[in-house]
Structure 1
Amino acid sequence: MPTTNISRRALGLVVGLCGLAIAFDGYDLVVYGTTIPSLLKEWQIGPAEAGRIGGYALIGMLVGALLVGTITDLYGRRKTLIGSVTWFSVFTALCAAAPSPEVFGALRFLGGIGLGGLMPIACALIIEYAPAEHRNLTYVVMQSGYAVGGILAASLAIPLIPALGWHVMYLIGAAPVVLIVPLALRYLPESLEYLVSRGRTDEAAALAKRLGIAVPPAPPAGARWYDGVRTLFSGEYRRGTVLLWIATFCALLMVYGMNTWLPQIMRAQDYALGSALSFLLVFNLGSIVGSVLGGRAADRIGSKPVIATAFLLAAVSIGLLSLKAPTIALYALFAVAGYGTIGTQNLINVHVGRYYPASARATGVGWSLGFGRLGAILGPIAGGLILGSGLSATWNFYLFAAVAVVGLAATALIPVRAAKRDSVALAA
């Protein structure tokens, strides 16, 4: 397979740069949740309106995820990733100067377009270049940057918001333009699959020689830009496409719902802001540890049983969070829930990327995440409606636990053929 002999240095650069970019995707996910208490107070808005504002960024992500396949086919994965990072960084920083909830929501929507395009490209690059026998582990190591960004947001919020206000949290969102873009311009390689598909064979051969790997085969003659979309709905893939979309929908609903409202839910249960943010930190930290362990297991026994187990852990741990428990038990449950939500989505992404052939990989991940963004949009909105309805805040935990059960059922129904192919670690 083309990717099995890539040098450690080259692989490390791809994983490191994609992971660093994904870290700021995770930062953007969590930063809104950390600033909600401040926004509610400053702009005198209710939880329901805050939930709608949180959904604007996710609508932008939906647009970006659906567009990324076409944009990548035109400009390449490298340029599209760099453009996505630049785009969302600029609009995230502009949120710090927003004078009203309306302007803030519009900026979050625009920034979300860049964020929506980032993850499918990073996923496609890692799956292309990772050694087949360690593909799940390599991917979740890269994707752990997502939770690292969440931890960074939660950790910075604890001292910075009381001292400097919520605005500084969004100014930090400009950091990728300085930290990532120059490095990516210099070190991030283009996708060999893209170069070959565009007929740039000499350039592909030179890059493959530098990376120490073989040139991937050319796509069939007469391939068209929309062939990737057609593949998703062809007879061989149709059922799996629908089930993977449902699983992604459920996972992202939990990820964005929990990360957006967890601090406010705990505040509603009389925990101080610092304590509430510490629960959010543990939630994201648990996802890192769990994702690495889950990735190792997925490389050995296949993704499907590991994803199903992760959904089950999410349902149990989130359900138990609705009960009164000692603080140490809450921390443990939040750690497990972090793996069952963020970790589950990490594993689903790599499973989706391996489910389809290379020609449809970025499109498959992009459309799966695009449909999943509907769940990401619904999570913050539903959480805000529950908090604003007068119901106990613990009803959010009932909702998210029920969604985990639906995700578990969808995962169990993924066609056995795809699960078998995944379990023997065949390269797409």
Structure 2
Amino acid sequence: MFKWYRQVSSLERKTFWACFSGWGLDALDVQMFTLAIPTIIAVFGIDKTQAGLISGVTLVASSLGGWVAGTLSDRIGRVRTLQITILWFSVFTFLCGFAQSFPQLIFLKALQGFGFGGEWAAGAVLMAETIRSERRGKVMATVQSAWAVGWGASVIFYTALFYFLPPETALRAMFMIGLVPALLVVYVRRSIPEPEKRAVPQSSGEKIPLVGIFAPEVLKTTILGALLGMGAHGGYYALMTWLPTYLKTERHLSVLSTGGYLAVIIVAFWFGCMASATLIDRIGRRRNVALFAICCTITVCMYLLLPLSDTEMLFLGFPLGFFAAGIPASLGALFNELYPAHIRGTGVGFCYNFGRIASAGFPVLVGYMSKSMPLGQAIGIDAGIAYGIVVLTIMFLPETTGRSLN
């Protein structure tokens, strides 16, 4: 599975670890919010719809950040943009710990999201352009597995802090831990050069058109990529934003039990990324995405819509996390291979992050629907629709396996 790691160059390894670390630390910051939703509702005196609104606003801001950062990486370089975005989301995650009201929290979360979306766009293009084409799918999917590592770390922090500290103190401490990713900038600055073939000309004065991804020859690709991003993000965020709250408030699990159930899903998510890494270069991007999307739709419906016991839910959590991982693990390679170099950062940033804008309504809708139906049912319906969009969209995109990034 990791044979490729011994065969790549020192630069490819350093770039891999920079992107892997950045994505894992992103997950640490973002997943802290989903774990803390019940406490946020209590501390700030808001309802579930307002809590969903925080998530929705963060996703919209991250979408804008991803598009802007993708375009910026085409102008000033991938590495420099990566450093800026890491610092940005780290600082604003930390500042969320000082919010005293709902408006302050939603404002700071929006700024955090702007940097978070930008970091993925810059890092994904940097990794794709650094690694050789025959290993691109495998390596990009492995980078995606860092999300499980960061997610797992957030659950550990959540379990420890909420077990030993009063809820409000633990909540603020979780946000303040978000400053840690800023240290990654030191490593990136010292170790990662700009990809030589993609370095931005210093004297040509050439400008990268922001609207280049809407040119006639790539317009269909951009529309389909955006819809794919919407389905992939909509399913994930509808499910993972509200799952900790569902386990705690409707299944009545304790903090320690909730952490245990989530641990199963997180470990499975990592294995799902590794399975996707193994399959994506063998069966192709389209088949890989379709396979995981269909399996994920079935599993989500079973997990949330059937009358399962706590033990059955624990065991079903593994396929839930496993299949949820395969779709995002495929997007990094696929989106990069859809666009030429001069608009690649813009295209990747737009498709991936437009999906976030469009998917921002899913967590909000779950919160709204839960007023008239059980929360688990609302999550299951929304996530099922989103993953269905993935299955339909991927049928109309070209197969890009082995495509050279020129």
Provide the C-alpha distance between the structure 1 equivalents of 2:288 and 2:310, rounded to a whole number of angstroms: 28
Secondary structure at the residue paired with 1:399?
A: helix
Partner of residue 306, structure 2: 323
In the alignment, does 2:94 pair up with 1:93?
yes
Partner of residue 84, structure 1: 85
Give deviations 1:164-190, integer Å, cap 9, x for gaps: 321111111000122x11111111221
Provide the C-alpha distance between the structure 1 equivalents of 2:128 and 2:401, rounded to a whole number of angstroms: 15
Partner of residue 256, structure 1: 237
Partner of residue 187, structure 2: 183
Provide the C-alpha distance between the structure 2 equivalents of 1:15 and 1:373, rounded to a whole number of angstroms: 24
Find the partner of 1:293 among 275, 279, 285.
275
Partner of residue 278, structure 1: 260
Partner of residue 172, structure 2: 167
Give deviations 1:227-251, integer Å, cap 9, x for gaps: x642x33344322321221111011
The code of the aligned residue for 2:391 comes to L
Secondary structure at the residue paired with 1:423?
A: coil
RMSD: 2.1
- Percent sequence identity is 24
Secondary structure at the residue paired with 1:393?
A: helix
Alignment of 1:19-418 (within 5 A): 19-164=20-165, 165-178=170-183, 180-195=184-199, 197-199=200-202, 224-226=207-209, 229-230=211-212, 232-267=213-248, 268-321=250-303, 322-414=305-397, 418=398
Partner of residue 18, structure 1: 19
Provide the C-alpha distance between the structure 2 equivalents of 1:70 and 1:425, rounded to a whole number of angstroms: 22
Provide the C-alpha distance between the structure 2 equivalents of 1:352 and 1:73, rounded to a whole number of angstroms: 15
The code of the aligned residue for 2:350 comes to W
Give deviations 1:85-135, integer Å, cap 9, x for gaps: 001101100111111111111111111111111111111011101121111
Q: What is the TM-score of this pair, normalised by structure 2?
A: 0.91
Provide the C-alpha distance between the structure 2 equivalents of 1:243 and 1:426, rounded to a whole number of angstroms: 21
Provide the C-alpha distance between the structure 2 equivalents of 1:328 and 1:124, rounded to a whole number of angstroms: 42
The code of the aligned residue for 2:77 comes to G
Following superposition, the deviation at residue 7 of structure 1 comes to: 4.8
Following superposition, the deviation at residue 390 of structure 1 comes to: 4.5
Provide the C-alpha distance between the structure 2 equivalents of 1:163 and 1:186, rounded to a whole number of angstroms: 38
Following superposition, the deviation at residue 25 of structure 1 comes to: 1.3
The code of the aligned residue for 1:185 comes to R
Judge conservation of contact 2:230–2:358 (CA < 8 Å) in 1: yes
Secondary structure at the residue paired with 2:370?
A: helix
Judge conservation of contact 2:266–2:321 (CA < 8 Å) in 1: yes
Gaps of 5+ in 1: 201-220
The code of the aligned residue for 1:271 comes to L
Provide the C-alpha distance between the structure 2 equivalents of 1:312 and 1:359, rounded to a whole number of angstroms: 34
Find the partner of 1:423 among 394, 401, 406.
401
Judge conservation of contact 1:29–1:256 (CA < 8 Å) in 2: no
Partner of residue 208, structure 1: none
Secondary structure at the residue paired with 1:374?
A: helix
Following superposition, the deviation at residue 314 of structure 1 comes to: 1.0
Following superposition, the deviation at residue 399 of structure 1 comes to: 1.9
Provide the C-alpha distance between the structure 2 equivalents of 1:19 and 1:171, rounded to a whole number of angstroms: 22
Following superposition, the deviation at residue 62 of structure 1 comes to: 1.6
Following superposition, the deviation at residue 379 of structure 1 comes to: 2.5
Following superposition, the deviation at residue 329 of structure 1 comes to: 3.6
Moved more, 281-290 or 130-139: 281-290
Provide the C-alpha distance between the structure 2 equivalents of 1:163 and 1:292, rounded to a whole number of angstroms: 34
Partner of residue 209, structure 1: none
Following superposition, the deviation at residue 271 of structure 1 comes to: 2.5
Judge conservation of contact 2:238–2:382 (CA < 8 Å) in 1: no
Secondary structure at the residue paired with 2:376?
A: coil
Moved more, 308-317 or 375-384: 375-384
Judge conservation of contact 1:265–1:394 (CA < 8 Å) in 2: no
Over 3 Å counting, the alpha-carbon distance change for 1:133 and 1:369 in structure 2 is same
Following superposition, the deviation at residue 19 of structure 1 comes to: 0.8
Q: What is the TM-score of this pair, normalised by structure 1?
A: 0.87
Provide the C-alpha distance between the structure 2 equivalents of 1:249 and 1:284, rounded to a whole number of angstroms: 22
The code of the aligned residue for 2:353 comes to G
Following superposition, the deviation at residue 425 of structure 1 comes to: 4.6
Following superposition, the deviation at residue 410 of structure 1 comes to: 0.9
Provide the C-alpha distance between the structure 2 equivalents of 1:199 and 1:6, rounded to a whole number of angstroms: 33
Following superposition, the deviation at residue 277 of structure 1 comes to: 3.2
Moved more, 349-358 or 376-385: 376-385
